[in-house]
Amino acid sequence: MKHTLRRHVLATGMACTAVVALASTAWAGDPDPNSKLEDARARCIEAIEVRQTEIGELSALAASAPQLTDSHEGTIKSFLSAASIGLAALQVEIEGDQDPAELREDCTAIFDDYRIFALRAPQVHLAVAGDREAAALAKAATLVPRLQEAIDAAAAAGEDVTVAVELMAHLQEALAHAEATLTGVVDTELGFSPEQWNANHSLLSATTSAIRAVHTDLQTAVSDGRAIIAELKG
């Protein structure tokens, strides 16, 4: 899937440039303008089809992600559905375009108005990742008292639990940091629009950094939890 996504993105990225170029040359006194126009049209339609496929894959991903909240899934379905309908309508327009300028404008809209690969796909992946992190943090929170009970039992039995106590403090610090970092991140990033991305191509950088930081915290918590168990087993 990853390779498929990259192939599509690379192909459509090149197609984007080529489509606009073809639409321009088709209109610039080319000896065979109709041929160039049809070539550009075909490339535009192909770009739409690739995006419709991606929308389908993103919809399936959202539908199959058990940790995605209903609210976030609803938001994703909404903007993907709107994009799919919009692109389908755009395709109809492109199929009817006889003026190279109109064709160029419609083809440009495929990218600027929808940003399926640059924005929507990362938004969905980041939402799935963020909600998965929220679920993981909830699960980790239930492990904390159980690990603490085990430490207390070991201490009551006369074991030296100094290291286990330090690891527990580190684990809890990581979880607290993760909770604070993740709060509101997915809600915010799902609200970003293609217009915002067009104005700021680093729009998702903060979201990506936050989710990556929470991922690191989770790994720390898992590592600390395992170390605590190893300590108690002696």
Partner 1 sequence: MTTHPNRRGVAAPVAGTALAAILALSLAACGATGGDRTPADGQTPTDDTTLTVPESTPATEGTVDPGDDSTASTSPDSDGSGDSGDSGDSDSADVDVTLDPGLAEELAELEALAEQIDQQLRDAAAAAANGG
Interface contacts to partner 1, rule CB under 8 A: 1-2, 5-6, 9-10, 12-13, 16, 111, 115-119, 121-122, 125-126, 128-129, 132-133, 135-136, 139-140, 142-143, 146-147, 149-150, 153-154, 157-159, 201, 204, 208, 211-212, 215, 218-219, 221-222, 225-226, 229, 232-234
- Distance from C-alpha of 87 to C-alpha of 92, rounded to nearest angstrom: 9
What interhelical angle do 33-64 and 70-96 show, nearest 10? 170
Nearest distance, CB of residue 143 and partner 1, angstroms: 6
Nearest distance, CB of residue 60 and partner 1, angstroms: 13
Nearest distance, CB of residue 141 and partner 1, angstroms: 11
Nearer of residues 165 and 222 to partner 1, judged by Cβ: 222
- Residue 47's identity, in one-letter code, is A
- Distance from C-alpha of 163 to C-alpha of 154, rounded to nearest angstrom: 12
Nearer of residues 36 and 132 to partner 1, judged by Cβ: 132
Nearer of residues 30 and 166 to partner 1, judged by Cβ: 166
Nearer of residues 98 and 202 to partner 1, judged by Cβ: 202
Three-class secondary structure of residue 51 per DSSP: helix
Nearest distance, CB of residue 208 and partner 1, angstroms: 7
Asked whether the beta carbons of 186 and 73 are under 8 A apart, the reply is no
- Distance from C-alpha of 21 to C-alpha of 104, rounded to nearest angstrom: 9
- Distance from C-alpha of 183 to C-alpha of 88, rounded to nearest angstrom: 36
